[in-house]
Amino acid sequence: MPVKMVLEKGKVPVNIYTDEIESSALDQLTQISQLPFVHHHVAAMPDVHTGIGATVGSVIPTKSAIIPSAVGVDIGCGMNALRLSLTATQLPDNLKPIRLAIENSIPVGFNQHSRASVANSTLKQLDKGIDNILAKHPTISKMMKRIHDTWTCQLGTLGGGNHFIELCLDENQAVWVMLHSGSRGIGNNIGTYFIDLARKDMERLQVQLPHRDLAYFPEGTQYFDDYVEAVHWAQDYAMENRREMMRLILESLRKVFPYFEITKEAINCHHNYVSIEEHFGEKVYLTRKGAISAREGQLGIIPGSMGAKSYIVRGKGNADSFCSCSHGAGRRMSRTAAKKHFSREDLERQTAGVECRKDSGVLDEIPSAYKDIDVVMENQSDLVEVVHTLKQVVCVKG
């Protein structure tokens, strides 16, 4: 479907790929569009909804400036998926042992590994990068106890919130492993620190903003290069975190299924990040907050909720969306509202047939708290084509 709504209250228009959007998200998008350095227009994906700092599902091209809160604090959050040679007929009737095996391999929530599990070469590379950042910004070190031990032991861990690990079946009954996570505590600290630093910079320079959350670093100023260095390190960390989780998951599955092959990696992709790209004749800093890259032919992952379908997609390279698409179904209800509105019985009913936690601790992730993924997909038919349709049979939540 083409753009469904255009906001024209700012310095640039906002192209919106849905008509299901709350007024607070429209306000946030309008505020973003009023910034003088936004290039050409802003795009809002079909899963768009109100976020902290900036709108989730927004794609923001900026020239000579970056907005740290638009990237957010879960820097580099994203998805990874692999198709295995296993099929549905090879899965046991009782899937709980598989879920428990994954949970035993991957710490969830605030838990972490007792020691680093990744290769020393990877640790050394990441260690060098974070040391450079902390040397210039030692305050980040004080935001986390035993920061080196923590970030190394959190590599290969899930975290909480909407992060998950799933076993899914596609339309051919092939088994897929799919996971969603980001840069964990260290990414949160980096994001929080630089968001606060940008706000202080704006106050010092007496810059008038549409909203304080849209504080930015102009190119050439004191902290711009430091933020670029830090955000790219956190994105690399998030990518490595997903790789390590996938390795550990496959290791745990081999204890249950000794013989299987990895037949295809769909993609390991960010959906909260900034990159340097060229759009509408200009080189820009493109921030995707809750959106993935969908260049022509590029594979991507669009998950639904823990009771709905997910999709492996191929990008169509739509210029008006800055070659982007949605990162999921998108919330239609806040976590607090979902906990008040739904019961455990609702959760059990909506996740019937899925081996997962069904307790009050994951009630805020109930499928009805999310938009209808089928409608979201219909609204971005101009942006991507579906390659595989997945349905989860096992789901591990943080």
**Binding-site positions:** 74, 162-166, 180, 271-272, 303-306, 310, 327-330, 397
- Among candidates 21, 59, 25, which has minimal Cα distance to 294? 59
The one catalytic residue in 41, 327, 341, 388 is 327
Catalytic site residue 327? yes
Cβ burial of 341 (10 Å; 0-12, 13-18, 19+) is middle
- Among candidates 38, 80, 69, which has minimal Cα distance to 310? 80
Beta strand residue intervals within the chain, DSSP E? 5-7, 14-16, 42-49, 56-62, 65-66, 78-87, 164-169, 174-181, 217-218, 262-270, 272-279, 282-289, 291-293, 299-302, 309-315, 324-326, 384-397
Q: Annotated binding site for Mn(2+), which residues?
A: 74, 163, 180, 271
127 Cβ contact partners less than 8 Å away, ≥ 6 residues apart: 148
Q: Annotated binding site for GMP, which residues?
A: 162-166, 271-272, 303-306, 310, 327-330, 397
CA distance 29 to 371: 19
CA distance 318 to 179: 26
Residues recognised as catalytic: 327
